[in-house]
Homo-oligomer: A and B are copies of this chain.
Amino acid sequence: MEDSQEYKNKKAYFEKIITLYGRNVVIEILQDETITIHKLHMSNSNKPDGAVETILKLAKKRGIEVVYHDKNALSRISKNAKQDQGVAIDIIASSYQSANEIKNLKSFKLLALDGIQNPQNLGMIIRSCAAGYVDGIILPKKSSAKISPLVIKASAGTLFKLPIYYCNTLDEILKELHDAKIYLLSSHAKNSIYDLKKNEKSIFVLGNESEGVSKEIEKFCNDSISIPMNRGIESLNVAVTASLIAFMR
């Protein structure tokens, strides 16, 4: 039987792996020295053209393990046979951790993202939160944009500097954080972001631009705050909202 601690460590390691695909993407990833790479996957059927040669040269230079697969096996790895172009790469998202870890934290200021589908917004949110005064973001796998080169680009290299707490859906973690202030952004709230007191444990829930926070998640919010706005304007870009919260200290 596998040693329990070793098994846990392995599981934690593999949960931090994100697989990206496509030739240009893989080249970009290999060129970015700030990204830790687990493995490069190549299809046997790749013809040794310019892009493939570049990929293999970059992988060799960085000492990355290359694994060859038949075409179908590669598709199972990339999960996108149509767009993988016979190459996929596993990167290690060192800052990724299970949202269950939040239960072990004594205090925190977190942003929970409910349905942020736009990769540029997600990247900007990560960048601002990493630079600002928050302890991490909660990213539900089911309703969020996938980590992709667009997200990495918009995050300007900050993707793995900020703790990212993943879960399948937000409710599964929110319902377990009984002693946290869970804030909904609302123009009707009594308190504004300028009145925020330092809570021991606070979570700010941000919904996507068109739908806002979903009904299912709204019911987990036990407080609300507003961002006071001028000139009759009612909303801000969600990445801007995240940034304002991140830099309120």
**A interface, CB within 8 angstroms of B:** 120, 124, 127-128, 130-133, 154, 156, 158, 161-162, 194, 227, 229-233, 235-237, 239-240, 243-244, 247, 249
Q: A231-B162, A247-B227, A249-B194 are in contact. Are A237 and B133 (CB under 8 A)?
A: no
Q: A194-B249, A239-B240 are in contact. Are A229 and B156 (CB under 8 A)?
A: no
Give Cα A158 to B237, complex, Å: 12
Q: A194-B249, A237-B127, A244-B244 are in contact. Are A232 and B156 (CB under 8 A)?
A: no
Q: How far is the CB of A57 from chain B (nearest CB, A)?
A: 28
CB-CB under 8 A from A236, the residues of chain B are 127-128, 131, 243
Give Cα A115 to B127, complex, Å: 22
A contacts with B: majority SS? loop
CB-CB under 8 A from A120, the residues of chain B are 120
Flag if A128 contacts B237 (CB, 8 Å). yes
Flag if B130 contacts A230 (CB, 8 Å). yes
Flag if A233 contacts B133 (CB, 8 Å). no
CB-CB under 8 A from A227, the residues of chain B are 131, 247
- Of the residues B156, B162, B243, B247, contact of A235 by C-beta under 8 Å: B156
Known: A132-B229, A132-B230, A158-B233. 11 other contacts (CB 8 A): A124-B237, A127-B236, A130-B231, A131-B231, A154-B237, A158-B231, A161-B233, A162-B231, A243-B243, A244-B244, A244-B247
CB-CB under 8 A from A130, the residues of chain B are 230-231, 233
Instruction: Report the nearest B residue to A235, measured CB to CB.
Output: B156
Q: How far is the CB of A227 from chain B (nearest CB, A)?
A: 7
CB-CB under 8 A from A158, the residues of chain B are 231, 233
Q: How far is the CB of A125 from chain B (nearest CB, A)?
A: 10
- Of the residues B124, B162, B235, contact of A240 by C-beta under 8 Å: B124
Give Cα A244 to B127, complex, Å: 14
CB-CB under 8 A from A156, the residues of chain B are 235, 237
CB-CB under 8 A from A194, the residues of chain B are 249
Give Cα A229 to B230, complex, Å: 27
* 25 A–B contacts from the bound complex (CB under 8 Å): A120-B120, A127-B233, A127-B236, A127-B237, A127-B240, A128-B237, A130-B230, A130-B231, A130-B233, A131-B229, A131-B230, A131-B236, A132-B229, A133-B230, A156-B237, A158-B233, A161-B231, A161-B233, A162-B231, A194-B249, A237-B239, A239-B240, A240-B240, A240-B243, A243-B244
